Chain A
Amino acid sequence: MSLRIVVCVKYVPDATGDRHFADDLTVDRDDVDGLLSELDEYAVEQALQIADDFDGDGDAEITVLTVGPEDAKDALRKALSMGADKAVHVEDDDLHGTDVMGTSLVLAKAIEKTGYDLVICGMASTDGTMGVLPAILAERLGVPQVTLLSEVSVEDGTVKGRRDGDTASELLEASLPAVVSVTDQSGEARYPSFKGIMAAKKKPVQSLDLEDLEIDADEVGLAGAWTAVDSAAERPARTAGTIVKDEGEGGKRLAEFLASQKFI
């Protein structure tokens, strides 16, 4: 028996950098350092744990998959150095400006081509923060979605997990193949070890383009997007507020401010 896990990881501009838009209103990926989306590290971590638990029963193999520019290889390397076995990088100039519908199409085709029993995603990308791609992938692949899990396990061809929602906490269950997404409550992601970093350099990274996936260029990219951004404006800086140092009366002065703003 084997368990083929595909982890979808995104390469994103560093949130602590000065993120902004390019002239064509796509996310500027040139001026800000990129990295593996922190929220996808949790997906890699859960894949590693599931593979570890499985290993007595047969072979588990973890493929990390990204759709992104040349530099997105960095995200794959990081995931490989954490312990994933191999990587697939979908890269094509025609992908520039692709929206979630296009990205999900490309990912679905790449996942099918790779072969899978379990797809694991992060809860949301830290740049787009839509948090919908896993559900769309499940729809496209025609397999169960088991999303937003704070706990996950796989046993006898069944994936189980806990979804802590707004109004209730649910225990979920589905048969493989399935698409899973995990939250940042699922457990700290490991740091790559020195050995892991060295080993990652020798792990295979397969490159695919749109032709390999039999996707027409007009189905993706800025022109193929189903949504259009008309304008992006920097939020005006908040006007400088009043800052006081507490010298025994800080609480009272704050109350005065709140009263002046009619909150009391």
Chain B
Amino acid sequence: MAEVLVYVDHVDGAVRKPTLELLTLARRIGEPVAVALGAGAGDTVPALAEHGAVRVLTADAPEFADYLVVPKVDAVQAAYDAVSPAAVLFPSSAEGKEVAARLAVRTGSGLITDAIDVEAGEGGPVATQSVFAAAFTTRSRVSRGVPVITVKPNSAPVEPAPAAGAVEALSVTFGEKSTGTKVVSRTPRTSTGRPELTEAAIVVSGGRGVNGAENFAIIEALADSLGAAVGASRAAVDAGWYPHASQVGQTGKSVSPQLYIASGISGAIQHRAGMQTSKTIVAVNKDAEAPIFDLVDYGVVGDLFEVVPQLTEEIKTRKG
């Protein structure tokens, strides 16, 4: 059976969830071969094998951490040459997309970004994408070379599918361009203790209506009562009330949770772009005309300072 390369997104060996979702999709097209790079690459093997990786190609070198993107492109290209895959799948992270794009140019392959589904098709994999702020759904194919596809988080279930996970050291020769962009320093993001925004089953977001950084405690309390991640509109982020890492929308994170609760958010097209594919959408807004109400499964027209704390209390009571 044809092999499918899967680029592993991990933090010091801890495999991030979107990569496990990629393995589910890769198994539809062929046998997944994972490529894990950088510090802790070897530690990714058990999780990858557990979810279907037949082989895991690993490489570590200081270049991966010290220089931006290109060393990883060199490594994935080495894996590509060694495997001759039927397709290459990447998570749609900033880095995943850039590595994918440069690999596609080098290998003369068509590139599809931000797929929300990938299936086997007669002429190769077929990717589903959600475009124009999720107003349209397209199906696309790569018509030249080996398909290189990046996939958004939450696009497929994580499925256990134990496989051999045979570890092989990947030998990489870094090209002269690989050291072009130096990473002078790296400050890891401090964890909020809440679920990752893009991976969470429930997202609770606040917008301009929250009216102040200190008031975000109301949004956080609701999120915590549901075990949810916290999001924010760009208006709230630009006002300095909540960190940019939590921004939902076109220029922030794109989320597709089971439940999205928007409070004090009007529902501008750029915000919708990042949340419109959520399964269930709920909004609290004091303006009955707010466009967010066009999207909701359930909406409350009211003051979020009344409605949200009451909701949080009621959830706590019901959960006991």
Contact = CB atoms under 8 A, between A and B. Distances in A.
A98 interface: no
Interface in A213-249: 225-235, 238, 241-246, 248-249
A132 B97 contact: yes
Interface string B263-306: 00000011001001000111010001000011111111111001
B297 A241 contact: yes
B300 A250 contact: yes
A100 B140 CA distance: 14
Contacts of A206: none
Contact of B307 (A174, A225, A250): A250
Interface string A1-27: 000000000000001100111000100
Contacts of B250: 15, 126, 129
Contacts of A100: 101, 111
Contact of A172 (B126, B181, B288, B302): B181
A251 B282 contact: no
B180 A258 contact: no
A75 interface: no
A142 interface: yes
A231 B259 CA distance: 28
Interface string B104-127: 111011111110000000000010
A136 B282 contact: no
Interface of B: 11, 68-70, 73, 93-95, 97-98, 100-102, 104-106, 108-114, 126, 130-145, 177, 180-189, 202, 226, 234, 244-245, 250-251, 258-259, 269-270, 273, 276, 280-282, 284, 288, 293-303, 306-315, 318-319
Q: Which 3 A-B pairs have the closest CB atoms?
A: A251-B310, A246-B302, A226-B110
Contact of A263 (B110, B226, B234): B226
A129 to B, nearest CB: 7
Nearest to A143: B180
A172 to B, nearest CB: 6
A250 B318 contact: no
Nearest to A135: B98
A133 to B, nearest CB: 8
Nearest to A227: B110
Interface residues of A, number: 83
30 contacts: A20-B135, A131-B113, A135-B102, A136-B102, A142-B177, A145-B98, A145-B180, A145-B181, A146-B68, A160-B184, A171-B183, A171-B184, A172-B68, A173-B181, A178-B181, A226-B104, A228-B141, A238-B281, A242-B298, A242-B299, A244-B298, A246-B302, A250-B307, A250-B311, A251-B300, A254-B284, A254-B298, A254-B314, A258-B282, A264-B318
Interface in A120-169: 123-124, 126-127, 129-133, 135-136, 138-140, 142-148, 150, 160, 163-169
A113 interface: no
Interface of A: 15-16, 19-21, 25, 39, 99-101, 104, 123-124, 126-127, 129-133, 135-136, 138-140, 142-148, 150, 160, 163-175, 178, 183-185, 225-235, 238, 241-246, 248-255, 257-259, 261, 263-264
B113 A132 contact: yes
Contacts of B307: 246, 250-251, 254
B301 A170 contact: no
A20 B136 contact: yes
Contacts of A148: 94
Contacts of A264: 226, 315, 318-319
B314 A252 contact: yes
Contacts of A124: 251
Contacts of B303: 246
Contacts of A234: 135-136
B244 A130 contact: no
Contact of A255 (B109, B138, B302, B314): B314
Nearest to B270: A15
Contacts of B306: 246, 248, 250-251
B188 A167 contact: yes
Q: Determine which residue in A144, A169, A183, A251 has the highest number of CB atoms from chain B within 10 A of its CB, and name it.
A: A251
B110 A99 contact: yes
Given A227-B112, A231-B139, A136 B105 contact: yes
Contacts of B138: 25, 229-233
B140 A131 contact: no
Contacts of B318: 255, 259, 264
A185 B298 contact: no
Given A165-B95, A167-B189, A246-B306, A251 B311 contact: yes
A216 to B, nearest CB: 15
B114 to A, nearest CB: 7
Given A148-B94, A225-B143, A261-B297, 19 more contacts: A101-B104, A101-B110, A129-B273, A139-B102, A142-B177, A163-B68, A170-B183, A172-B68, A173-B184, A184-B251, A226-B142, A229-B138, A231-B139, A235-B137, A243-B288, A243-B299, A245-B301, A250-B307, A255-B315
B233 to A, nearest CB: 13
B281 to A, nearest CB: 8
A229 B139 contact: yes
Contacts of B312: 251
